Structures are given as structure tokens and as C-alpha cells.
Amino acid sequence: DGGITQSPKYLFRKEGQNVTLSCEQNLNHDAMYWYRQDPGQGLRLIYYSQIVNDFQKGDIAEGYSVSREKKESFPLTVTSAQKNPTAFYLCASARGRGVDTQYFGPGTRLTVL
Amino acid sequence: AQSVTQPDIHITVSEGASLELRCNYSYGATPYLFWYVQSPGQGLQLLLKYFSGDTLVQGIKGFEAEFKRSQSSFNLRKPSVHWSDAAEYFCAVARGATGTASKLTFGTGTRLQVTL
């Protein structure tokens, strides 16, 4: 089955630790995205990548970092600089450039204790 | 700047009743509009999208939406709601320059509760 996988589904970390969230897709999509979801705020774009080895900041990139070494993978690192990291994180992908439908993974809920 | 407004935070309808969820957008160029649905703790599923052409678009699960440029609206409708439709619904508008990956601006969502 083609789709987007995110792991783990639940993640707990202590304050001050970096943590990396996984996102993998087998849809052969060029573009990948990371969103953060908080109650009552909808989804906000953290980073996106149009192609391997290229990525751009979204609206709320501070405290996050990404890499895109492979077409199918777009991991997100939540660093200790992120002031309020507890949230639901969603990864998405789309075929490529221009307006296109984004398809979403199941999400990872990160709780920082 | 682009924005999407979903004025209803929470809506409750009875099973079998009709449903309309409101969405208003602000975008200078031709809008590309989407409706997604999210069950608790899950990812988002695309219900329907409008890129061009017929302003009444059909989606999955019996949903439809109508694009009204004069009102900057893209309201979602369903003639008869089922209990399984209880979820959160998000309207979004695509933004981005030609030749670049598009980005979505989301509304804050409307939570639908269905009573039996």
C-alpha cells in the first residue's frame, strides 16, 4: 500500500532534550511538509522540501531542523530551543511543484515533560 | 497575507439532518481550496478540492462544497449526516509562486458532533 508513515505515534521526552520524528513516504512524491497542530489553532507549517537536499522554512521554523537526504524521508528534529514543543506533528507529501493535493501521515504526538 | 476563517468552532447536528460548515478565505489570486477531515488522534483525509471549473464540487463520503468568489466562501455541505461523520473539519487555501511547491494555509477547524 502506498502512503505516509510516521513513527512513533506517541513520544515522550524530558525538557532540554532534542528529539527526532520520522516521516517516510512511498508515493514517489517530490514535496514533503511538516506541520504542527495545537488545539484551536489549526495546522501551522514548520518546514517544507521541494526536492532532495533542499528545504525551506515555513511559518514557525524556530526551534526545529530538518534534513532531506532521500526522496522518501523527511525527518524533523525538535531541538531544546523550541520553547513549547508539546504538540501533535503531522507530515505530508505532494507530487511536486505547483498546486497539488497534500496527503497526510497519521501524526506523532510529542509530550515534553 | 492569505487567511482562512472557519467561524464555527463547534457544531452539533442530529443524525439524518443536513449540515453546512462555513469557510471564508482571503487570497489575492485565484484560490485553490481544500476541505480535510480529521478523526481524533489521526491524520487528515482529503474530502474534496476546488482548482477551477464547476463551482460545485463533489467529494468523498457524500460531501460537496460550493465555491462562491463574490462571497470569498467555500462552504461544505452534506444532505444527511451519519454518526460516523463526527470529526474535525479543516478548510485550507493553497499559496505559492508558480514553479514552487504550494503551501497550505488552514483554518482553525470546526468540530462536528452528531447526536443520535
pLDDT digits (tens, 9 = 90+) for B59-102: 999 999 999 999 999 999 999 999 999 999 999 998 766 566 68
Taking residues B19-40, report their average pLDDT: 92
Query: Residues 53-92, chain B: which have Cβ within 8 Å of A?
Result: 90
State the amino acid at position A70 in one-letter form: K
Distance from CA of A3 to the nearest CA of B (A): 12
Contact between B43 and A48 using a beta-carbon 8 Å cutoff: no
pLDDT of residue B28: 72
- Listed in sequence order, the DSSP H helices in chain B are none
Tell me which of A99, A108, A110 to substitute to probe the interface with B (most B C-beta atoms closer than 10 Å): A99
A97 against B71, higher pLDDT: B71
In terms of Cα–Cα distance, which of A37, A20, A7, A38 is closest to A105?
Answer: A7
Question: Which chain A residue's Cα is nearest to B50?
Answer: A101
Taking residues A67-75, report their average pLDDT: 97
Tell me which of B104, B108, B111 to substitute to probe the interface with A (most A C-beta atoms closer than 10 Å): B104
Beta B24-26 vs B3-5: how paired, if at all? antiparallel
A85 Rama class: left (phi>0) / alpha (psi -120 to 50) / beta: alpha
B49 touches A: beta carbon within 8 Å: yes
Instruction: Judge if the upstream peptide bond of residue A85 is cis by omega within 30 degrees of 0.
Output: no
Lowest mean pLDDT across A89-103, B32-46, B63-77, B93-107: B93-107
pLDDT at A30 over 80: yes
pLDDT at A98 over 80: no
